[in-house]
Amino acid sequence: MSKIVDYIEWLALMRVFISDLKDHVGQTVELRGWVFNSRSSGKIKFLLLRDGTGLCQCVYFTGECEPAALDVFPQLTQEACVRVTGKVREEKRSPGGFELGGLSLEITAPSVDYPLSPKEHGPDFLMSHRHLWIRSKSQHAVLRVRAEVIRAIRDFFDGRGFTLTDAPIFTPSACEGTSTLFETQYFDEKAYLSQSGQLYMEATAAAFGKVYCFGPTFRAEKSKTRRHLIEFWMVEPEVAFNDLYDNMELAEQFVEYVVQRTIKNCAAELAALERNTSGLANVLAPFPRLHYGEASQIIKKENPDFVIGDDFGGTDETIISSKFDKPVFVHHYPSAIKAFYMKEDPKEPGSSMSCDLLATEGYGEIIGGGQREESLQILREKIKEHKLREEDFAWYLDLRRYGSFQHAGFGLGVERTVSWICGLGHVRETIPFPRMYGRHYP
Ligand code: 4AD
Q: Whose CA is nearest to atom 2 of ligand 1?
A: 368
Q: Whose CA is nearest to atom 28 of ligand 1?
A: 228
Asked whether the predicted pLDDT for residue 5 surpasses 80, the reply is: no
pLDDT more than 90, % of the chain? 93
Q: How far apart are CA 410 and CA 367, in angstroms?
A: 7
**pTM, whole model, 2 decimals?**
0.95
- For residue 270, give the nearest of 420, 427, 54, 425 by alpha carbon: 420
Give backbone dihedrals phi and psi of 190, rounded to 5 degrees, phi first.
-90, 145
In sequence order, the 6+-apart residues with CB closer than 8 A to the CB of 418 are 142, 145, 146, 149, 424, 427, 430
SS3 (DSSP) at 10: helix
Confidence of residue 7 (pLDDT cuts 50, 70, 90): low
Question: Which fold would CATH assign to domain 126-430?
Answer: BirA Bifunctional Protein; domain 2 (3.30.930)
CA of 133 to the centre of ligand 1 (A): 27
Q: Which atom of ligand 1 is nearest to the CA of 229?
A: 26
Q: What does 182-210 look like in DSSP terms, one character per residue?
A: -EEEETTEEEEE-S-SHHHHHHHHHHHSE
Asked whether the predicted pLDDT for residue 216 surpasses 90, the reply is: yes
CA of 401 to the centre of ligand 1 (A): 28
Name the residue of 195, 231, 232, 343 whose CB sits within 8 Å of the most ligand 1 atoms, as the mutation to test its pocket.
232
- Which is higher by pLDDT, 11 or 100? 100
CA of 357 to the centre of ligand 1 (A): 11
Asked whether the predicted pLDDT for residue 176 surpasses 50, the reply is: yes
**232-272, pLDDT tens digit by residue?**
999 999 999 999 999 999 999 999 999 999 999 999 999 99
Which pLDDT does position 1 carry in this prediction? 46
Which pLDDT does position 429 carry in this prediction? 98
Give backbone dihedrals phi and psi of 284, rounded to 5 degrees, phi first.
-125, 135
CA of 6 to the centre of ligand 1 (A): 58
Which pLDDT does position 179 carry in this prediction? 87
Q: Where are the beta strands (DSSP E) in 265-316?
A: 289-291
CA of 317 to the centre of ligand 1 (A): 15
Name the residue of 196, 333, 410 whose CB sits within 8 Å of the most ligand 1 atoms, as the mutation to test its pocket.
196
Asked whether the predicted pLDDT for residue 3 surpasses 70, the reply is: no
Report strand pairing: 55-61 vs 98-109.
parallel
Name the residue of 212, 232, 234, 312 whose CB sits within 8 Å of the most ligand 1 atoms, as the mutation to test its pocket.
234
Confidence of residue 74 (pLDDT cuts 50, 70, 90): very high
Give backbone dihedrals phi and psi of 186, rounded to 5 degrees, phi first.
-125, 85
CA of 368 to the centre of ligand 1 (A): 6
Asked whether the predicted pLDDT for residue 11 surpasses 70, the reply is: no
CA of 369 to the centre of ligand 1 (A): 9
CA of 301 to the centre of ligand 1 (A): 27
Asked whether the predicted pLDDT for residue 281 surpasses 90, the reply is: yes
Asked whether the predicted pLDDT for residue 12 surpasses 80, the reply is: no
**55-65, pLDDT tens digit by residue?**
999 999 999 99
CA of 437 to the centre of ligand 1 (A): 17
Report strand pairing: 189-193 vs 231-240.
unpaired
CA of 355 to the centre of ligand 1 (A): 12
- Which is higher by pLDDT, 4 or 343? 343
Asked whether the predicted pLDDT for residue 10 surpasses 60, the reply is: no
Q: At what angle do helices 137-158 and 414-422 cross, to 10 degrees?
A: 120
Q: Whose CA is nearest to atom 1 of ligand 1?
A: 368
Q: Which atom of ligand 1 is nearest to the CA of 201?
A: 12
Which pLDDT does position 239 carry in this prediction? 99
CA of 178 to the centre of ligand 1 (A): 15
Looking at domain 2-109, which CATH architecture does it have? Beta Barrel (2.40)
> Stretch 84-90: mean pLDDT, rounded?
97
Alpha helices in 13-111 (DSSP H): 67-72
Q: How far apart are CA 284 and CA 268, in angstroms?
A: 22
Q: How far apart are CA 293 and CA 308, in angstroms?
A: 8
Q: What's the residue count for the chain?
A: 442
Q: Whose CA is nearest to atom 6 of ligand 1?
A: 196
Q: Which atom of ligand 1 is nearest to the CA of 356?
A: 17
Domain ranges of the chain: 2-109, 126-430
Which pLDDT does position 174 carry in this prediction? 85
- Mean pLDDT rounded to a whole number for the chain: 95
Q: Which atom of ligand 1 is nearest to the CA of 198?
A: 12
SS3 (DSSP) at 127: helix
**293-332, pLDDT tens digit by residue?**
999 999 999 999 999 999 999 999 999 999 999 999 999 9
Lowest mean pLDDT among 78-87, 127-136, 172-181, 248-257: 172-181
List all residues whose CB is within 6 A of at least one atom of ligand 1.
175-176, 196, 198, 219, 221, 228-229, 232, 234, 236, 365-369, 409-413, 415-416, 427
Asked whether the predicted pLDDT for residue 284 surpasses 70, the reply is: yes
Question: Fold match between 2-109 and 126-430?
Answer: no
Asked whether the predicted pLDDT for residue 135 surpasses 50, the reply is: yes
Q: Which atom of ligand 1 is nearest to the CA of 367?
A: 17
Asked whether the predicted pLDDT for residue 8 surpasses 50, the reply is: yes
Q: Which atom of ligand 1 is nearest to the CA of 368?
A: 1
- For residue 153, give the nearest of 265, 266, 257 by alpha carbon: 257
**25-40, pLDDT tens digit by residue?**
999 999 999 999 999 9
Q: Whose CA is nearest to atom 22 of ligand 1?
A: 413
CA of 96 to the centre of ligand 1 (A): 38
Q: How far apart are CA 259 and CA 357, in angstroms?
A: 14
